[in-house]
Each structure stands twice: as C-alpha cells, then as structure tokens.
C-alpha cells in the first residue's frame, strides 16, 4: 500500500533536499513505509571526497534495516579498539573491543570510506520505485504555497527552473543548509573551532604494502600536535592532525612533506608503495541549530548539527535523525499517529545530539588539552585507566544516551529505566535476530504471557508480540530494567516499560497513537 501517492504532477508527500547519507537514509525508510519521496541533490553523483570513516553498532543496525548490512560488511572493517599514545608515541593505554560482542548484533566500531557507503545507499534506494532521486539539481527556495511547502529548484544541466509542492520537506542539505535558513533557524556555537589536516593514503596491495600497525584507532595525546591514525580498509589509511598556527594543507601536499607526521606509522615503507589520495584542511566545529522544525519543514543531519569527529559520530547523528523522523511522518500521513507527535523529533533528537557533541568535545579535551601539565597527568593517569572496570567499559562501550521524555517516550518515576533506550537485537531461537521479526511497526516485548483481551487489543492495533523466554537475553534485559514488558517503537526505542502488562497495552489506546484507525489493519 502506498500512502500519499503523487496526486498530480508537481506534488509529492515528502520532498528531501540533499542526497547525502542523511537524505538517502530518510528516503529509504520512508519508501519502506510506503511513502513517496522526491530527493533533490545538486551534484550529478555521490560527493567523491572521503570524510566519515567510523560508525558504531547502532548505525550498523540501521543500515541493516535499510537492507545493506551484508554489502556494508564487504566494504568495512571492524576495529579493535583505541590506543592512546603520548607525544613520543609510547602507549599510554589500550582499550580493546570485542568485535563479536554487541547488543545491536553488529561490531561496535567499524571503519569505512564514506563515498563507498553512499554508493551502496544509493544503489539500494533504486529498489524502491516510490523514491525518486533527481540529481544535478540546485534547490533555490522553500516557501509556503496554498497549504503546501513549495520547493523551487534549477536543473543544472539546462538551467530550467521547476518546483514541486510537498506535504513535508526534509532539509538534509548539509552544513550550509538553505532549508535551515529558510525556516529561520540559526546555528548556535558550542565554543569549539580547530583546524585539522585530514590525510587519506592508499597502500599498494600488489606489492604487499601493509603498515603492520595495531588494528585499532591510535590517538596521539599531545596538546601541540594532536593526531589520529586509523586503518579504514584493506589498503586504506586515514590520519588527522591538528594544524599549528600559520600552517595550512598546502604545506603538506606531498608524501615527502607529510613524512615527518606519518613516519611513526609508515616506517620504512617506500613512497612508491604509498599513494596520497587526499590532503585537505577542515575546520572542526561544534554547533547545533536553535530550531529543527517550522511547520512541516524539518532539518536533519549536518543541517541541524555539527560535531568534531573525535568519536566518529557526525554522520551517525544524521542517520539517527532520519530513523527518528521517518516513521513518525509516515504514521501521520497514513493516519496512525496524531500530527503533534512530530514535535517529538526535536524534543528527542536535540538533547541526544547535544550530549554526543559534548562527549566528543570531552574526549578531544581530555586527550589533548591542558598543555604540559595535561601531558603529565595523562602519563600518570591513563596507564591506570584500564584497571578501573567501569571506566574501561565506558571508553569501549558504544551505548548512547536514552532519549528524553516526549509524547512517544513515557517515563514515570517507577519505570524510567528502559524508556527512551534502544531495545537489544539478540538472536532468537530459529536463528533470526529480533529486528527481522519485529518488522517496521510497534511491538510488545514481554516476559509474561498475555491475557486474551490484551492479545485481541494488540492484534487489532497490528502490534507484534514477542514473549521472551525465561533466561533469554531479552528476558534478562527486561529484568535489568525492572520491567515485565516494553512497548518498542518502529525505530526500536522503548516507548514505555513496566511491570503491569495490561497497563502497557492500555497505552496503545491513548493519544497520540491512533493505531486502531490504521486503514491497513
């Protein structure tokens, strides 16, 4: 069933400005829910420059929902953890991750090349005829027009101007977002700005060049020349170095000029076995937009927030935005959710994003701040960190904060543990993981059998019921959360949890959910 199909030429339920990772994720999720979208992007193809290189298990889980987990596995590399080095490259501390251990069912830290991922995302989108990508198209205006949002764009191949009227517009148009400006939103600075050099190098596979380094992220903790080294593929490596005042990327345009920086990792591998793919300068910023919505226009991804990449979460935040908003818009369009649930997008995502940016700033600061005194403290403290189990777990744990209370996250004093957190994705008897069983709708995960009336109510609402077996991972998860059951939203966030299953089921009858009115059920 397709909701809100193209009614007349020039109209579409959802127009998406920007076909980066955020826009394509939103389009794919909406398409899976039967919503027609038109995606507009200024470039003819994927933006070819490498940027993001890391994503966590939560984002991998979303990629699996998009249908590209297997393909992503072929272009990514789970990483072993984090090694902290001093300015003489002595190891201060090492935190190992177990790639096989994750509540989401995927390795906790994965290295990849952003353009390769974007190629996968776009190829996958072609499977959905209700999503149409129009490239080589510059969006120039987003305005109100007779009860719709009018998106005006120019076809860059012939200069002709067109427009489309949409019920909803998603501004996934990156850091310099036009949509953000059009909704009267502005970036608020979180007081961080640093210039960094970003270096991408390939090694010659035919000649067997391998830098033979520890297979994790290397962080050089040095207030003067902070740096990061990562292996991102079979023959691909990334360095990021803080630039000193007066330096620019032009000073490091050749392998010869880069050698003083990268030699601790490249050793005696000759220049002929290394290929410099890109050297560029980025100004890393921490910013968050003051409003993420005006009427039916939303901003997502880099359009709404920017973070320094110290914990590799910028792109992930955009993918999370897309996952959070897409099912809500689909629900409002198909009449199963009240329109005011759309307020929950900013209420839930903004605090989450802010705390992830703060975490990135803290990680950056604790590894590289404090001058010589900071160096001394790090030399004393860091080697001991791994003996403190709670702290060690924090460094290697990829769990992100719970979402704040909203119309779709119900936290009461007695049952606040699970609400707003993600439900795990364990393998179930039969081999499938939980996500495969839950599909795209609401679900009740319970450790107690249901009464007939509750069963009937849930069936009427089309809610999938999963009874967790005694001793299973799911049952233990509920027990740890002091709950007998949890209502899980389509994005796998727990809406509410508690001991009283009948009361939980009753919540499905309350506004803003109108599941009973779903025409499909």
What does DSSP assign to residue 276? Answer: E
Alpha-carbon distance of 365 to 92, in angstroms, equals 16
113 part of the interface to ligand FAD, by CB under 6 A: no
Asked, as a colleague might, if the bond just before 512 is cis with ω within 30 of 0, I would say: yes
In terms of Cα–Cα distance, which of 279, 278, 283 is closest to 249?
Answer: 279
3-state helix, strand, coil in the chain (%, to 5): 35, 30, 40
Report whether 28 contacts 131 (CB < 8 A): yes
Alpha-carbon distance of 151 to 14, in angstroms, equals 11
- Of 199 and 504, which has the nearer Cβ to ligand FAD? 199
User: What is the CB neighbour count within 10 angstroms for residue 394?
Assistant: 12
Question: Residues 78, 81, 105, 312: which binds ligand FAD (CB under 6 A)?
Answer: 312
The window from 45-53, 155-163, 181-189, 482-490 that contacts ligand FAD (CB under 6 A) reads 45-53
151 part of the interface to ligand FAD, by CB under 6 A: no
Walk across the sheet containing 109-111 and list its strands: 54-56, 109-111, 77-78
55 part of the interface to ligand FAD, by CB under 6 A: yes
Report whether 219 contacts 367 (CB < 8 A): yes
| C-alpha distances in Å from residue 221, one per residue of 88, 285, 314, 429 | 10, 20, 22, 46
- Of 154 and 204, which has the nearer Cβ to ligand FAD? 154
| Full DSSP string of 86-108 | -TT--EEEEEE--TT--TTSS-S
Min dist. Cβ of residue 368 to ligand FAD (A): 16
125 part of the interface to ligand FAD, by CB under 6 A: no
178 part of the interface to ligand FAD, by CB under 6 A: yes
Min dist. Cβ of residue 315 to ligand FAD (A): 3
Report whether 450 contacts 417 (CB < 8 A): no
User: What is the CB neighbour count within 10 angstroms for residue 485?
Assistant: 28
- Of 38 and 505, which has the nearer Cβ to ligand FAD? 38
Report whether 147 contacts 89 (CB < 8 A): no
Question: Residues 43, 128, 192, 214: which binds ligand FAD (CB under 6 A)?
Answer: 43
- Of 28 and 447, which has the nearer Cβ to ligand FAD? 28
The answer for residues whose C-beta is within 8 angstroms of residue 431's C-beta and 6 or more apart is none
- Of 109 and 269, which has the nearer Cβ to ligand FAD? 109
Alpha-carbon distance of 14 to 27, in angstroms, equals 9
Question: Residues 78, 105, 223, 309: which binds ligand FAD (CB under 6 A)?
Answer: 309
Min dist. Cβ of residue 226 to ligand FAD (A): 14
Min dist. Cβ of residue 198 to ligand FAD (A): 4
Alpha-carbon distance of 204 to 210, in angstroms, equals 8
Q: Is 372 exposed, middle or buried (0-12, 13-18, 19+ CB in 10 A)?
A: exposed
Per-residue contact flags (x/-) with ligand FAD for residues 186 to 225, judged by CB under 6 A? ------------x---------------------------
Report whether 407 contacts 436 (CB < 8 A): no
424 part of the interface to ligand FAD, by CB under 6 A: no
Min dist. Cβ of residue 26 to ligand FAD (A): 9
Question: Residues 16, 26, 30, 40: which binds ligand FAD (CB under 6 A)?
Answer: 40
Min dist. Cβ of residue 25 to ligand FAD (A): 8
488 part of the interface to ligand FAD, by CB under 6 A: no
107 part of the interface to ligand FAD, by CB under 6 A: no
The window from 39-47, 241-249, 287-295, 429-437 that contacts ligand FAD (CB under 6 A) reads 39-47
The window from 18-26, 74-82, 159-167, 357-365 that contacts ligand FAD (CB under 6 A) reads 18-26
39 part of the interface to ligand FAD, by CB under 6 A: no
Q: What phi-psi label fits residue 87: left (phi over 0), alpha (psi between -120 and 50 degrees) or beta?
A: alpha
Alpha-carbon distance of 290 to 272, in angstroms, equals 49
- Of 242 and 417, which has the nearer Cβ to ligand FAD? 242
The window from 47-55, 72-80, 184-192, 416-424 that contacts ligand FAD (CB under 6 A) reads 47-55
Min dist. Cβ of residue 508 to ligand FAD (A): 33
Report whether 228 contacts 217 (CB < 8 A): yes
Q: What is the distance between the terminal CA atoms of the chain, rounded to a whole angstrom?
A: 12
331 part of the interface to ligand FAD, by CB under 6 A: no
Question: Residues 4, 12, 14, 18: which binds ligand FAD (CB under 6 A)?
Answer: 18
In terms of Cα–Cα distance, which of 408, 406, 186, 167 is closest to 295?
Answer: 167
What does DSSP assign to residue 422? Answer: B
Q: What are phi and psi of 178, to 5 degrees?
A: -75, -35
173 part of the interface to ligand FAD, by CB under 6 A: yes
Report whether 478 contacts 484 (CB < 8 A): yes
Per-residue contact flags (x/-) with ligand FAD for residues 372 to 391, judged by CB under 6 A? --------------------
Per-residue contact flags (x/-) with ligand FAD for residues 348 to 367, judged by CB under 6 A? --------------------
Question: Residues 130, 313, 406, 493: which binds ligand FAD (CB under 6 A)?
Answer: 313
30 part of the interface to ligand FAD, by CB under 6 A: no
41 part of the interface to ligand FAD, by CB under 6 A: yes
Q: Footprint of ligand FAD on this chain (CB under 6 A)?
A: 17-23, 40-43, 47, 51-55, 114, 138-139, 172-174, 178, 198, 282, 301-302, 309, 312-316, 318
């Amino acid at each position: 069933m397709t909701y809100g199909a193209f009614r007349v030429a020039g109209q579409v339920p959802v127009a998406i400005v920007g076909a980066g990772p955020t826009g394509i994720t939103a389009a794919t999720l909406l398409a899976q829910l039967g919503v027609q979208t038109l995606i507009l992007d200024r470039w003819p193809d994927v933006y070819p420059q490498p940027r993001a290189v890391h994503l966590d298990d939560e984002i991998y889980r979303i990629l699996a929902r998009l249908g590209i987990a297997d393909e992503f596995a072929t272009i990514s590399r789970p990483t072993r953890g984090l090694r902290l080095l001093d300015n003489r490259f002595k190891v201060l501390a090492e935190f190992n991750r177990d790639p096989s251990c994750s509540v989401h069912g995927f390795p906790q830290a994965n290295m990849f090349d952003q353009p390769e991922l974007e190629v996968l995302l776009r190829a996958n989108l072609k499977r959905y005829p209700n999503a149409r990508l129009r490239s080589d198209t510059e969006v120039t205006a987003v305005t109100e027009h007779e009860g719709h949002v009018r998106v005006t764009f120019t076809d860059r191949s012939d200069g002709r101007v067109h427009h489309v009227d949409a019920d909803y517009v998603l501004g996934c148009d990156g850091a310099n977002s036009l949509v953000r400006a059009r909704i009267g939103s502005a970036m608020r600075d979180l007081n961080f700005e640093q210039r960094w050099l970003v270096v991408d190098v390939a090694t010659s596979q035919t000649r067997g060049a391998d830098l033979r380094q520890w297979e994790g992220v290397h962080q050089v903790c040095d207030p003067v020349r902070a740096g990061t080294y990562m292996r991102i593929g079979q023959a691909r490596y990334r360095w990021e170095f803080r630039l000193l005042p007066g330096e620019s990327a032009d000073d490091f345009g050749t392998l010869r000029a880069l050698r003083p920086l990268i030699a601790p990792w490249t050793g005696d591998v000759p220049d002929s076995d290394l290929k410099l793919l890109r050297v560029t300068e980025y100004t890393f910023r921490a910013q968050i937009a003051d409003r993420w919505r005006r009427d039916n226009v939303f901003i997502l991804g880099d359009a709404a927030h920017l973070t320094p990449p110290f914990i590799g979460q910028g792109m992930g935040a955009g993918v999370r935005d897309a996952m959070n908003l897409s099912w809500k818009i689909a629900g409002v369009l198909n009449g199963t959710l009240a329109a005011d649930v759309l307020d929950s997008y900013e209420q839930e995502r903004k605090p989450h994003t802010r705390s992830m940016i703060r975490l990135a700033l803290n990680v950056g600061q604790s590894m590289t701040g404090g001058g010589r005194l900071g160096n001394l403290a790090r030399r004393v403290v860091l080697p001991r960190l791994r003996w403190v189990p709670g702290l060690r777990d924090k460094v290697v744990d990829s769990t992100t904060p719970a979402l704040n209370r909203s119309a779709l996250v119900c936290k009461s004093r007695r049952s606040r543990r699970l609400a707003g957190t993600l439900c795990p994705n364990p393998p179930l008897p039969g081999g499938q993981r939980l996500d495969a069983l839950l599909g795209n709708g609401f679900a009740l995960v319970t450790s107690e059998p249901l009464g007939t009336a509750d069963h009937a109510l849930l069936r009427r609402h089309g809610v999938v019921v999963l009874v967790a077996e005694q001793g299973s991972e799911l049952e233990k998860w509920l027990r740890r959360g002091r709950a007998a059951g949890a209502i899980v939203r389509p994005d796998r966030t727990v809406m509410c949890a508690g001991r009283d299953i009948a009361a939980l089921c009753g919540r499905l009858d309350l506004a803003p959910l109108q599941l009973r009115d779903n025409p499909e059920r």
